[in-house]
Amino acid sequence: MDIILEAFSIFFSLQNILVVGIGVAIGTVIGAIPGMTTPMGVALALPFTFSMPPVAGILLLLGVYKGGLYGGSLTAILIKTPGTPAASCTVLDGYPLTQKGQARKALDIALYSSCVADLISNVALILFAGVLASFALRFGPPEFFTLIVFSLTIIAGVSGPSLSKGIVSASLGLILATVGLDLIYGTERFVFGDYRLMSGLSFIPVLIGLFALPEIIDRATRRARPPGASKQELGTGATFADFKRVLKSVVRGSIFGVILGAIPGIGGAPAAFLSYSEARRNSKNPENFGKGEIEGIAAAEAGNNGVAGATMIPLLALGVPGDVITAVILGAFMIHGLRPGPLMFDQNLPMIYALFMGILLSSAYLFVVGKVAIKFFSRVATVPNRILYPIVFVLCVYGAYAVNNTLFDVFIMLSMGLVGYLMLKLDVPVAPFLIAFVLGPLLEDNFRQSLLISDGDPTIFFRNAICIVFWGLTALSVFVLIRSRIEAARTGKASVLTTGG
């Protein structure tokens, strides 16, 4: 009790309370701007923490982090331009709802799911930091590989009616993901003598080109529509019944986010896709996913935001940053003379509890800031397309350029825009491409690292219970997918025979 009272005295100041809200607000805006990634926002905020007390400075960075994770969903839903890589999964069902005139409902579901997942992640950080950190230490390359193999089974589920087109899309994503230097041996792959390709294709330009530009080109090449037909309606907000329907997916996605967030190197995008995959498998209406299903939005945002608090688990418990953002936050700790790890819990326990209080407060701020952001950002859906799409195109160019400050990334974005437009016209699904592009490098690197560790012995992929569980889940998923495809084919044949009779 004495430690808690001391922590409360450290945290309870006007500066600390305000700085959390300011951080969340800044992060939400940064996350909503294509190209302004969350790591970039946290890094830009770092110098402002030098003159602050340790708790206030770290809480500012955490606020920017949490706001940025949510902010990416705003533009993903409204203009099909994800502000962050993790929000790319939210596009799959968020933008179709906007096209149906239900933007407000999609934004509300994204906000509520984000807040619940963020709260669950924060509570997991406070209660289970030690347990989850020890579990994360058991993940090596073989465990990562089997996890990603299981995650890739979602490709069949988001391929639509044509599995062959989904496989083509995923294959293209895997091929483009291999561009650059091989991380194991440093050899060049698909570089074609251009040094600018050695670092691979930047994710943000590929993402913007794949989603936003095809929509702009498609709108520009259509015939002119009557006045008033070129803007979307906002629709009504989400009801309690809507949220109750998706609550199970939110909780499930939050758990996935917490577990994957505690494992260094995973990040929000794989967590979002895995959560989305499981929501689709367990849904009563899996055929609605990708067409504007609120359960898909809820699952994606829950998985994405579920990692927020969990990424702090290896940082605080082990002193190991889980991703780029927590590496920046580790720098903030060290600037203030603190070294995260087991000793910090002995020497600075009141300060850690004070951080926990601020982290819990950030969930409340996320709800308030999110509601205000929805009120302002949702107006984007009412802007006529002849005005909106030129502005979106300018944002796309800025977003692609801002990643590395190079025009080459703008060229990559434009090239991917043409690829995405061809895929749109040929009815080739984009989701398998995106999933393969995100998870492909992780799959390859962990596969090769595992074989290097075992001197080429493939039994390393079955070395413990974690690997075996993921192989079992993969086999079960493949079996369910094959069975559902066979049943769908039989149903289709039966309907054709009935119609013919």
* Three-class DSSP labels, 1-56: CHHHHHHHHHHCCHHHHHHHHHHHHHHHHHHHCCCCCHHHHHHHHHHHHCCCCHHH
Alpha helices, DSSP H, located in 80-101: 88-99
Tell me the chain's radius of gyration from C-alpha atoms: 23
CA distance 250 to 428: 29
CA distance 81 to 240: 28
Cβ-contact 72, 32 below 8 angstroms = yes
CA distance 92 to 96: 7
CA distance 193 to 213: 28
93's tokens: 């069902």
Per-residue pLDDT tens digits of the chain, which is 501 residues long: 677 787 788 888 888 889 999 999 998 888 887 766 777 788 778 888 888 888 888 889 889 988 888 888 888 888 887 777 778 888 888 888 888 888 888 889 999 999 999 899 888 888 877 677 677 777 788 888 888 888 777 666 666 667 788 888 888 888 888 888 887 777 888 888 888 888 888 877 887 888 778 878 877 776 444 444 444 567 777 888 888 888 999 999 999 888 888 776 666 778 888 888 888 888 887 778 888 889 989 999 998 888 888 888 777 777 767 667 777 788 788 887 777 776 777 777 788 888 888 888 888 999 999 888 888 877 776 677 677 778 878 878 887 887 778 888 889 889 988 988 898 888 888 878 877 887 788 888 889 889 999 988 889 999 888 889 889 988 887 887 777 767 666 665 554 445 554
Backbone angles phi and psi of 388, in degrees to 5 = -65, -50
499 belongs to a structural domain: no
Cβ-contact 11, 350 below 8 angstroms = no
259 belongs to a structural domain: yes
Q: Which of 83, 26, 98 is nearest to 396 (CA)?
A: 83
Inter-CA distances, 77 with 98, 308, 350, 422, Å: 7, 21, 41, 22
Residue type for 127, please?
L
Q: What's the distance, CA 2 to chain centroid?
A: 39
Pairing of the two strands 188-189 and 180-181: antiparallel
pLDDT, position 22: 92
500 belongs to a structural domain: no
Backbone angles phi and psi of 189, in degrees to 5 = -135, 120
CA distance 73 to 305: 11
498 belongs to a structural domain: no
Backbone angles phi and psi of 202, in degrees to 5 = -65, 140
User: What is the domain extent for residue 464?
Assistant: 2-493
CA distance 39 to 18: 22
For the chain, helix, strand, coil in percent to 5 are 75, 0, 20
pLDDT, position 5: 82
177 belongs to a structural domain: yes
CA distance 107 to 111: 6
Cβ-contact 10, 350 below 8 angstroms = yes
277 belongs to a structural domain: yes
Number of domains present in the structure of the chain: 1
pLDDT, position 230: 44
32 belongs to a structural domain: yes
